[in-house]
Structure 1
Amino acid sequence: MAKRSRFKDFLWRHSAGIAFLVMVAFVGLIGFVGYTYAVITKKFDSSRRWDVPSRIYSDATPIVPGMTFARALLEPKLNHVGYHEARTQVANPGEYRYVNGDLEIYLQNFEYPDIEFRALPIVVTFDGTTVRTVKRLDDGASLRGIRIEPELITSIYNNEMEDRLPVALNLVPQVVIDAIIATEDRNFYHHEGISIRGVLRAAWIDLRHKSLNVGGSTLTQQLVKNLFLNPERSWRRKGVEALMAVLLEARYSKNEILEAYLNEIYLGQNGAVQIIGVEQA
C-alpha cells in the first residue's frame, strides 16, 4: 500500500509536468505526420514518374568505300540500333540481310545534328572485309557513303545509370497488371497502405530470427521505399515507411499509386544500366 501511495503521490505532484510532456509529444506527433504528408505529396506530385533519363549515344557509324568493316562487328551494331535480319530482299525500314557476302539494308529514318536521314534501301558490296561500293538498291545509283544511326551507350538519371520509359496505366496490358498484383500484393485493392496481417507475420518471423529480413511490405510500401526512402533495414525506417504508405493511400487513388509503381519497379539490368518500369522492360 505504501508503494502504491508513493506512486499516486508522484503522479499527483508531477501531474502538470506529465500532462505537459504528453501534450508536447502529441503536438510533435501531429507535426511529424503533417510534415511527412507535405513531403510525400510534394514529391509524388512532382516525382520522376514522367521524367525520362538523359541518354548518351555514340556517333553515327559511316560506311564508305575503302573502309574495313567485318560482318562480325557490323551485324551486332545493326541489331543494337533496331535492325533485324530478313529472309528475302529487304522491303521495309529496319531490315537487312547478307547475300553472298554483300549487305542489303533498308536504312531507317533518323535525325542527326547536321542532316535528317530518310529511309532508303541500300546495297553495300564487300571485297573481303573492305567496303567496295555503296549503291541504292532500287536503281543501282552509286553513293559516296551512308550512316548507321547512333547507338545508345547508356542512360543516366539522378547520377545513376538507369533507363526508363514512363507509361500511363491504361496503356499497360491488363495481364501484366494482374501478374504484378498477384505476385507482389494480392490484397492491393483491399488495404489502406499496409497489411496488418502481413506486418504481424513479418514481425514474428523477424523477432524469431532476430533480424529484419522479412518485409511484409505492400505494393504501396514498396513504392514509398523506392520514391522516398533509402534501403536501410531498421524498425524506425519500417515505421516511417508504413506511415507514408497510409498517408499516400489517403491522398491518392489506387490507380494513381499503381501507375506510379509500374513506372518505378526495378526489372533487371542491361549491362550496367538498371531497367526501371514495365514499359522499358
Structure 2
Amino acid sequence: MTIEVKSLHEPRRLPRLGNARHAARAAAERARQTSYLRHIFVLAMLVPLVLLGVAVGYSYYEAAQIVDERLASGYLMSRAGIYAAPRELRPGQNFSRERLIESLRRTGYVENAASNVWNGAFAIKNNVIEIRPRQGGGEQETSAPEVVHVTFTGKERIDSISADGVGVESFTLEPEALTHDAATKTSERRTLTYEHLPPVLVHAILSIEDRRFFEHEGVDAAGVGRALLSWAGWGTNSARIRGQGGSTITQQLVKNTYLTPERTLQRKYNEAMIATAIERRLSKQDILALYCNEIYLGQRGTFAVRGVEQAARVYFGKELKDLSLAEAAMIAGMISSPNRYA
C-alpha cells in the first residue's frame, strides 16, 4: 500500500499597498508636526532672549551716555551742589604761589596727574606753576588751552600768564565745590589720586569692601551670590556672610555720585549698567581714587566728613600717609555704617 505525502503551503499574504502608504503618510505628518513644534519652541525661547539682549544693550548705551557726559564736564565737579564763584587770575594780582597751589587742589586739579578724569593737572617748577586744564570735549572745554604757565615774582605777585605760549590777560580756574549737598557743610579738602593712598589703607578697604576689585568688571557675580545667600540665610557660615554685601566698589561709587539711595530693583539694575560703563572708561586706580574722594564717613557738628583724607584728619589728627594699620582698618570699617559716627 502506497502512501503519498503532500505538504500544503498556505499562500503568502502581501501587505496591502494602501495601508503601507497610509502609515508612511501618518509618520511623515507626525515628523512635520514634531519639527514644527520644535521650531515654535526654539522661536519662543529666542525671541525673549533677543528682546532681552536689545533691552540690555539699550540700557548700557544710555548708561554710557551718562558716564561720558559726566567725564566730559569733570567727574568730581559736575554734581549738583554749592560752588564758589570761579577764581580769575590776572598779571599783577597779589596772589602767592602757595595760594594758587591750594586753590588748584581744592578745585579738583591734581599734581603731576596723567589721567583726564580729574579737572586738570598742575606741576610746580620753581616760580612757575604749569597748569593743564582737562580736555573733555564739552562745549566749555573746546576752547581751553592745553597748558597755562603762571609766573610769580619774588613778592608773591603774579608776574605773567601765558596760554599755549601766548600771553593772556586772565585765566579762570574751575569753581571750588563748597558742598555737594545743600543741607550739609563740608570742610576744605583736596582731590586725591591713587598715588596719594597709602597701601595700608588700600588693603584695608579692599579687604572689607571688595576683595575682587581688581578682578571683576564692575559687577561681581560672586558678590551677588553672597548677597543672595545672606538674604536667604543659607549656608553654615550665614552669620559671616551677612556681613558681606553684593555691591562692588564701582557700584558704590555709582550709588554715591549718580543715583539716589533708594532700594529698588530698577535702581540696582541702573547701578550695574553704569558701573559696567565706568569700568570700560576708567582705570581701576582712578575708580578707587574717586571712591576714596567721595565716600561719606560720618559728620562732626555741621561738617560732613567726606573722603578718607578728611577722615584721617578729623578722627586721628593725622595726614593720610601717617595712618597706622589699626587706624586704616577703622576708616575702612566706617564705610558700611558712617551714621554711627555722625
TM-score if structure 2 supplies the norm length?
A: 0.43
CA offsets 1:44-100 (integer angstroms, 9 cap, x no match): 453552579547xxxxxxxxxxxxxxxxxxxxxxxxxxxxxxxxxxxxxxxxxxxxx
Structure (1 or 2) with the larger CA radius of gyration? 2
Q: Residue 214 of structure 2 aligns to a residue in which SS?
A: helix
Equivalent residue runs for 1:117-156 within 5 Å: 155-156=178-179
- The higher relative CO (CA closer than 8 Å, separation ≥ 6) is in 1
Distance in 1 between residues matched to 2:62 and 2:278, nearest whole Å: 13
Larger strand fraction of residues: 1
Distance in 1 between residues matched to 2:222 and 2:76, nearest whole Å: 30
Structure 2 unaligned blocks of 5 or more: 1-31, 85-177, 235-241, 312-342
Match of 1:38 in 2: 65
| CA RMSD, Structure 1 to Structure 2 (Å) | 3.5
Distance change (3 Å), C-alpha of 1:214 and 1:177? closer
Give the counterpart letter for 1:156 in structure 2: T
Aligned length: 176
Distance change (3 Å), C-alpha of 1:160 and 1:18? same
Match of 1:233 in 2: 263
Contact preservation (8 Å) 2:254, 2:271: yes
Contact preservation (8 Å) 1:262, 1:277: yes
Shift of 1:228: 1.2
Percent identical pairs in the alignment equals 32
Distance change (3 Å), C-alpha of 1:6 and 1:36? farther
Distance in 1 between residues matched to 2:305 and 2:54, nearest whole Å: 43
Task: Select 1:49's aligned residue among 68, 76, 91.
Answer: 76
Distance in 1 between residues matched to 2:34 and 2:230, nearest whole Å: 38
CA offsets 1:20-65 (integer angstroms, 9 cap, x no match): 776555433322211111112322453552579547xxxxxxxxxx
Match of 1:184 in 2: 209
Equivalent residue runs for 1:10-25 within 5 Å: 23-25=50-52
Give the counterpart letter for 1:187 in structure 2: R
Give the counterpart letter for 1:262 in structure 2: C
Q: Residue 275 of structure 1 aligns to a residue in which SS?
A: strand
- Structure 2 residue 290 is the aligned partner of structure 1 residue 277: no
Structure 1 unaligned blocks of 5 or more: 56-154
Equivalent residue runs for 1:78-227 within 5 Å: 155-163=178-186, 165=189, 166-208=191-233, 215-227=245-257
Contact preservation (8 Å) 1:265, 1:276: yes
Contact preservation (8 Å) 1:36, 1:244: yes
Distance in 1 between residues matched to 2:192 and 2:83, nearest whole Å: 17
Task: Select 1:28's aligned residue among 44, 47, 55.
Answer: 55
Contact preservation (8 Å) 2:219, 2:248: yes
Distance change (3 Å), C-alpha of 1:45 and 1:219? farther
Distance in 1 between residues matched to 2:66 and 2:249, nearest whole Å: 20
Q: Residue 310 of structure 2 aligns to a residue in which SS?
A: coil
TM-score if structure 1 supplies the norm length?
A: 0.51
Distance in 1 between residues matched to 2:214 and 2:46, nearest whole Å: 41
Match of 1:60 in 2: none
Distance in 2 between residues matched to 1:170 and 1:50, nearest whole Å: 21
